[in-house]
Amino acid sequence: MRVWSHGYNVEVPYTYGYYKETSPLWIKWATYLGGRKPPKAEKIRVLELGCGQGFNLCMHASAFPEMEFLGIDFNPSQIYHAQELARLTGLKNVNFIEGDFVELSKDWRLGEFDYVILHGIWTWIAKPVRAAVVEILKKALLPGGLVYISYNSMPGWLPGTLVREVLINYYKTSQKPAIQAVQEGLNILKRLEEFNAPIFRVYPNLKVRVDKASQHDFHYVVHEYLHDSHTIFWVYDVIEEVMPAKLYYIASANLPDNYLPALMQDKIRDFINEFSHPVFRLFLIDLFINQGFRRDIYQKGEVRTFGIEQIKEIREVKFISIADTPQEFKFQVGMGEIEGKKEFYIPLMEELSKKECSVEELLKIEPFNKTGFIPLIQALTLLMSKDLIALYNEQQDVAYTQRFNSAIIKAVSEGRPYNFLMSPLSATGVVIPPVEINMLQNLSEGVTTIDDLSIKTINRLNQMGRQIIKDGKPIENPVEAANCMRQLAGEFINKKLPLLKRLKVIS
């Protein structure tokens, strides 16, 4: 470990992830669900502490050209990438700074912000560094400002601690490179399972966690498990730690969690509601559903709403459809899956497939013209959590976002590892595997037929030393690879491409 890293493993670079829950629009909706007022300023400023490679912040900057974004990370190689990415994609409203939280907390001179994002750092940084973050929040967050904090939580992450102990102890004692140590450490756990070690019976989810880690990008696994500091929190621990910054828990960015315990069985809901303290109720819910990862929204001050004023504001919020109407409506709500009534969800999907609609307009369709406001808000929230609909971005600048996307497409065609493009309409990223992004680059260069698209894409992958993957394994046979690519190209042209155009991801 390097002295400047505060025990954080910087041996391998972090991944190039995107997290929709950190979108200002998403956080704003969660704030409404929590019964609070989101910030309203002529020039919204967004700060991401621990911005990593900067891809997540650049994605959102491309969707909100009128907002100002700042990313800070202590790793100079990651800040270099972030700055380069902003330059390559032509973004004018995002900046990145190399900075140490402990040093910055002593002399904060970067101004005040409406939103602060803390994704994937709280669990993995030492307590003195977390204390420094709290000091920054005291100085950087405006009254009424919102903070997104994600972290590994109790009790669901308990099996993960067993995986971590094996991986980090093997890493330190073997003195092998981090990725090699992770691979071999996971194999040690698999051998223990083969020997029917009792620990796998005591913790049935241990096997699931080992299997998932084995399938992940090992750069991610290193950053998940191989830091000196790794703290799993109960929800009340974090609430207590951030209180000195005058932060109050208001909602979960994992939207369905805001409807617990209401979506639980009657006897469970009634039992939890016997207890009046809201934080104790959150604790009981996490205990019951075996919560393993929290995405929480906090606000500086208890900024309460004024009934009719808040409802009027929510009625003006618009939604759009971002997917085809499914055959069934099943939603993950923490403790399991619930199935929604088609008569509630199909009319919403059909209406939103025609055009963007406000909550006010949707209240006029069946059955919500009879059931009213609250059932509609719940239905919209659950559809949104399932990536079937999205909030409509009224600040969109299609040309600005599409220039960003074009630059990302070109960068991927030259070997960069990005997996998302941004929709200016929904202000959320669309998952697009590198193979499909390479197809988009070929289409931009004038390819018109499926056969030509498959051939050009194979050639481009070959130039980058990559193979076509099927069922998690590379296809070695050239004929089989060509047939697979032609099928992928046909599906992309006929299904994915129309969606990308409808969402204005590309022109």
* pLDDT 10s digits, 353-405: 999 999 999 999 999 999 999 999 999 999 999 999 999 999 999 999 999 99
- Judge whether 96 and 415 are in contact, CB under 8 Å: no
Q: What is the DSSP string of 237-292?
A: HHHHHHGGGTEEEEEESSGGGGGTTTTS-HHHHHHHTT---HHHHHHHHHHHHT--
* Domain 3-152+232-255+286-300, CATH number (from 1.20.120.80, 3.40.50.150, 3.30.565.10, 1.20.1530.20): 3.40.50.150
What pLDDT does 1 receive? 46
Tell me, what amino acid is at 100?
A: D
- Judge whether 47 and 111 are in contact, CB under 8 Å: no
d(CA 423, CA 401): 7
Exposed, middle or buried: residue 207 (CB in 10 Å: 0-12, 13-18, 19+)? middle
Find how far residue 503's CA is from the centre of its chain: 19
Beta bridge partners of 97: 72
Closest by CA to 77, choosing from 95, 96, 60, 90, is: 96
d(CA 369, CA 366): 6
Place of tokens 């409808």: 502
* pLDDT 10s digits, 423-460: 999 999 999 999 999 999 999 999 989 999 999 999 99
Find how far residue 208's CA is from the centre of its chain: 21
Residue 413 CB partners (closer than 8 Å, separation 6+):
437, 438, 441, 460
Tell me, what amino acid is at 324?
A: D
Torsion over CA: 397, 321, 251, 232 (sign): negative
| Ranges of the chain with pLDDT below 70 | 1-3, 335
In degrees, rounded to 5, the angle at the alpha carbon of residue 204 between the alpha carbons of residues 199 and 207 is 85
Residue 324 CB partners (closer than 8 Å, separation 6+):
none
Tell me, what amino acid is at 146?
A: L
Tokens of 217: 């990008």
Torsion over CA: 22, 28, 33, 35 (sign): positive
d(CA 221, CA 141): 32
First CA to last CA distance, the chain: 47
d(CA 42, CA 60): 18
d(CA 47, CA 141): 9
Cis ω before 367 (30° cut-off from 0): yes
Residue 180 CB partners (closer than 8 Å, separation 6+):
none
Tokens of 338: 């619930």
d(CA 288, CA 281): 10
Delimit the domains of the chain by residue range.
3-152+232-255+286-300, 158-225, 318-391, 398-502
Place of tokens 């497939």: 353
Closest by CA to 67, choosing from 81, 56, 57, 55, is: 57
- Judge whether 419 and 384 are in contact, CB under 8 Å: no
Tokens of 115: 């939103």
3-state helix, strand, coil in the chain (%, to 5): 50, 15, 35
